[in-house]
Structure 1
Amino acid sequence: MNFRTAGRLAACAAALLIASAAQADYLWLQSEGGRAKVYVGELGKPLAQLPALGDARPVLPEGKTLPLETAANHYAFQPQAGDLRFTAVRTGDGVLTYLQARFGRAETKPLNDLELVPTEPGGNRFQLFFKGRPVAASQVHVETSEGWRRVLAPAQDGTVGFTPWMPGLYVLEVTARVNNGSVTLDGKTYEDVRHTATLSFEVPR
């Protein structure tokens, strides 16, 4: 890692504290029957009812939009070419959480504010980005549809990596808290602002 990269990481880390607390509910994307579906909760334990979320929408380049279907326990939309992304906002107990999800690991540039990005197309090493700039995650949780779990620690360059060794759906999750940040939403100011991001992908059988 050169000094320029180290400087970028330090500057972003000053504005972002990577949380190491126990996992909370997150939002993730998966492909089912030719549709992109979005669930909330934890992989293997999705919430039976979607919580109240604001601004729930697929994220596409150039601000394009897609029709969104809402079912009892998930959202659904027609997948487009490339990796898929989705965002929503959740409020409660004085906490504002930006929920962000990505499905696929073909693209090496982020779109969401907080996003895990493969360092090469289809790769097994990932860099966390916050608002387009690289940051180092203190830890990344990995869970699979087969029940395998692991916690990844970053390398010296801030990336995390592992070898997906079993078929199934993988979900990588990281949560970060904005340092000294406050956001006003619908007339209410939140001092506790968090970002939760997932990256999911399938390893074929």
Structure 2
Amino acid sequence: MKVIQTAGFATLMLCAFNSHAHMLWLEQPDAQTVRAYFGEYAESLSETQQGPLKSFNAAVATQDKNTYKPQVQEKFIEYKVKGTGDVRVQQDLLHGEMLAQFRAKTGRSSTQPVAEFEIVPTQANGNQFTVYFQGKPLAKQEVEVVADNRWTQKFYTNEQGQFTINTPWKGQYVLEAGKPVEEAGQFQAKPYKTKYLVATLSFNVQ
């Protein structure tokens, strides 16, 4: 993982902190291919290797107990996978006194959280989801849902940390949530004072 300290990345992190704009999300064009993008899915904006996408070039993908190396492309990071389970990609980036943690997943077969902050279906392949933070359901959390046609709607989790969506259109759906955490620590021997967690879940409706 790479420490980022450029002015451009500072701007992106400010956008992410204020409006959940930039995120890492996954797309799966076929059963053996997963691609990671960084940008604003709702705006059809994906960063390139000439910009902050290069910060994710070392991020590996995991699926079940398997790990896959990244294949760097100009507009995305590609992974050739072999299994059928959910695929995850994560990356931590440091700017100044904030640690941004990006967690992306494609597929909705797993109903148990793995990451510190994650969106999980209550039933495999269902449309009801729970947002977990540190292993517990998170109430009143905002989640943005974007369909393949760029229809967008915001939801808020109930007291059980759950929300339910409709999927009337075919194609990909991307769910995103962001959470600031007042927690200090060190990353690659460099201190930070706060964290910002960004979680996405993407899946296709046939």
TM-score, length of structure 1 as denominator length: 0.81
Q: How far apart are the structure 1 equivalents of 2:202 and 2:69?
A: 22
Q: Does 1:102 align with 2:105?
A: yes
The aligned residue for residue 29 of structure 1 is: 26
Question: How far has the Cα of 1:54 moved from its partner?
Answer: 7.8
The aligned residue for residue 46 of structure 1 is: 46
The aligned residue for residue 67 of structure 1 is: 69
5 Å-filtered alignment, 1:177-188, equals: 177-179=180-182, 181-188=183-190
Secondary structure of 1:59's partner? strand
Question: How far has the Cα of 1:134 moved from its partner?
Answer: 2.2
The aligned residue for residue 116 of structure 2 is: 113
Unaligned runs of 5+ residues in structure 2 are: 1-15
Q: How far apart are the structure 1 equivalents of 2:186 and 2:22?
A: 23
Query: What letter is aligned with 1:48?
Result: T
5 Å-filtered alignment, 1:95-174, equals: 95-174=98-177
Q: Percent identity?
A: 27
Q: How far apart are the structure 1 equivalents of 2:71 and 2:140?
A: 33
Greater RCO structure (CA 8 Å; 6+ sep): 1
RMSD, matched Cα: 2.0
Question: How far has the Cα of 1:93 moved from its partner?
Answer: 4.0
User: Which runs of 4 or more aligned residues in structure 1 lie more than 3 Å from their structure 2 counterparts after TM superposition?
Assistant: none
Contact 2:63 2:86 in 1 (8 A): no
Question: How far has the Cα of 1:127 moved from its partner?
Answer: 0.5
**Residues 183 and 72 of structure 1: CA distance in aligned 2, closer, same or farther (over 3 Å):** farther
Unaligned runs of 5+ residues in structure 1 are: 1-18
**Residues 60 and 82 of structure 1: CA distance in aligned 2, closer, same or farther (over 3 Å):** closer
Report the number of matched residues: 184
Query: What letter is aligned with 2:161?
Result: G
Question: How far has the Cα of 1:192 moved from its partner?
Answer: 1.8
- Once structures 1 and 2 are overlaid, which stretch shifts more, 163-172 or 70-79? 70-79
Query: What letter is aligned with 2:46?
Result: P
Query: What letter is aligned with 2:186?
Result: T
Secondary structure of 1:120's partner? coil
Contact 2:130 2:157 in 1 (8 A): no
Question: How far has the Cα of 1:148 moved from its partner?
Answer: 0.2
